[in-house]
Structure formats: C-alpha cells, structure tokens
Amino acid sequence: MTATVAGNVRVTDVGTEYDTHHIILDFGTMPFPVLEGQSIGIVPPGTDERGKPHFARQYSIASPRNGERPGYNNLSLTIKRVLEDHQGNPVRGVGSNYMCDLKVGDKVQVIGPFGATFLMPNHPKSNIVMICTGTGSAPMRAMTEWRRRLRKSGKFEGGKLMLFFGARTKEELPYFGPLQSLPKDFIDINFAFSRTPHQPKKYVQDAMRERAADLAALLQDPNTFFYVCGLKSMEEGVVLALRDVAQGAGLNWDEIGQRLKKEGRLHLETY
C-alpha cells in the first residue's frame, strides 16, 4: 500500500539525541481503517548490506481512528531519529532516518495495520491510565485525542484519564506544548524528567509512587485499563511500581495483577 506524506514536523527541541518528528501519512482513496493502539509497518526503499529488501519497521499510530484531521483518510506517527544504537555507538537507523527526512508529497510503502491487543476500552466511564516514555507517547496521544473528540461530541461520558510521561528533559518530550493546554478536568498529567539540571532524577515509576493514593483507587476499579509503552527498560520498573502501589494500599497484588492480565486491562508494548 502506498501513502503520501502530508506533513513532517519536528516535535522536540533541537538536539542530536532526541530529534523526534510528527509525520502525517495520507491514504487518499485507499481504505486503511485503523484504531488507536495499532501500529503500521514502513518499508524503507532500497536494500540492506546483503542486497535484500529492508525489513519493515513498525511505528505506533499517534492519531485517532477518524484521522489526524477528523474526517480525513490520514494518520500520524511519532518517530525518533535513531543516531545511536542501544550501547551509544553512532549509527544511522535505516527506517527512522528515512522517515524523518521525508518531504511533503513523498510516497511511502506501508503495511498493516498491526495489533489487536493494545486497544482502548469503548464503554462509558472506563478509566485509562497511560504510562509512557519518549515515542511511547504515540498511542497515548491517539487515545487521548479520541477521548477528547468523543467528549466534544457531548454524547460520551468518559472515565478518568491519567498520564505518566517520562523523558530525560522536557526539551525531548514530544508534544510537550499541546499537552500543557489540555483541560485539567479532562486529563491528569504527571511528567517525570530524569536529567533536568540541578533536580533529582525522576522516572515514571517515581511519579506513579507519588500518586499512589489515586492509582490504588483506580487499581480497584474494574473499569480501569493500564497501558505502558516506550523503552523496553521501563517495563519492569512500572510493573513493580504498580505492585508497590497495590501493596501500600493493603491490596493483594498477585490477585490484582492476574486479574488485570486476564481481563485485558494491563497492556505492555515496549521496544
């Protein structure tokens, strides 16, 4: 399937370690229905060092089901340009650099959509707790925006939305500005910055522990759904923080944790 680039803007401050782009792909008249929490595959042009076509890279959809612009057959992605590997050695990631360098009007090969688990609840009063780092914010942006549109329609009574969003500094947090302007009674936002000069390191799990009382109440509500997305390394810390919150409130974590998994209310997507 071919999509056309309809927009490509940088959404973090300038800095070699965190060049993140918001990219809009348009499908024209081609049907490409998607849901919040799904991802798509991008096939970079050309071949790898063995002369084989590049494998597809997966990117989470950052826009709601009815389009980045409501009523358009388009979607958005949040892509971090990879310039270092996980060990910190310089490298130019094939897919992310291809995507971040695209110009409006360029054509992109797309496959998918993928994902049938990281989907949001659609019943009224369902609570959504979103825990993310970096580009893990993409599916959270999609869910938040869908809820915002539903709320605007006046026909849907949403439950609580709570967001824990971590980055090294606020400069490398995608969508920092727009997030600040969302109404407080719509979404409860908690930032955690691990490398702000002259401030103690704070990770998403620290922010979660600070909000233990509210999280404990949400853990006990069968209408609450948890979504975790971002770096692989955050997964363990976040699950441990949830356990501590539960135990601190005198709840049986083994029981709650099992139930969350069984009922599809705890979703982890890290890469």
Ligand X SMILES: Cc1cc2nc3c(=O)[nH]c(=O)nc-3n(C[C@H](O)[C@H](O)[C@H](O)COP(=O)(O)OP(=O)(O)OC[C@H]3O[C@@H](n4cnc5c(N)ncnc54)[C@H](O)[C@@H]3O)c2cc1C
Q: How many CA atoms lie within 13 A of 221 on its CB side?
A: 16
Report, in Å, the least distance between residue 85 CB and ligand X. Answer: 3
d(CA 30, CA 112): 13
- As given in the structure block, the two tokens for residue 127 are 């609570």
Per CB under 6 A, 160 contacts ligand X: no
Per CB under 6 A, 17 contacts ligand X: no
Report, in Å, the least distance between residue 154 CB and ligand X. Answer: 31
Candidate list 36, 68, 145, 269, residue with the active-site label: 269
Report, in Å, the least distance between residue 137 CB and ligand X. Answer: 8
Choose the stretch contacting ligand X; rule: CB under 6 A; options: 91-99, 154-162, 176-184, 236-244. Answer: 91-99
Which amino acid type is present at position 213? A
Q: Within a 10 A sphere around the Cβ of 127, how many other Cβ atoms?
A: 19
Q: Is residue 269 annotated as part of the catalytic site, yes or no? A: yes
Report, in Å, the least distance between residue 8 CB and ligand X. Answer: 13
- As given in the structure block, the two tokens for residue 92 are 């130019």
Q: Is residue 175 annotated as part of the catalytic site, yes or no? A: no
DSSP one-letter string for 25-72: EE-TTS-----TT-EEEEE-SSB-TTSPBPPPEEEEB-S-TTTTTTTS
Report, in Å, the least distance between residue 3 CB and ligand X. Answer: 16
Q: 196 near 173, Cβ under 8 Å?
A: no
The angle that helices 234-248 and 212-219 make with each other, rounded to 10 degrees, is 80
Candidate list 59, 175, 203, 227, residue with the active-site label: 59
Lay out the site mask for ligand X across 98-127 (x = CB under 6 A, - = otherwise): ------------------------------
Q: What φ, ψ does residue 80 adopt, rounded to 5°?
A: -95, 130
Helix, coil or strand: residue 193: strand
Dihedral angle over CA of 167, 168, 174, 180, nearest 10: 70
Per CB under 6 A, 267 contacts ligand X: no
Taken in order 13, 18, 22, 25, the sign of the CA dihedral is positive
Tell me whether residue 126 or residue 133 sits nearer to ligand X (CB atom): 133
Which amino acid type is present at position 87? Q
Per CB under 6 A, 222 contacts ligand X: no
Q: Is residue 229 annotated as part of the catalytic site, yes or no? A: yes
Per CB under 6 A, 39 contacts ligand X: yes
Choose the stretch contacting ligand X; rule: CB under 6 A; options: 78-86, 156-164, 183-191, 193-201. Answer: 78-86
Among 73, 74, 133, 135, binds ligand X (CB under 6 A): 135
Tell me whether residue 36 or residue 269 sits nearer to ligand X (CB atom): 269
Residues that bind ligand X (CB under 6 A): 39, 57-60, 78-80, 82, 85-86, 91, 93-97, 135, 138, 269, 271
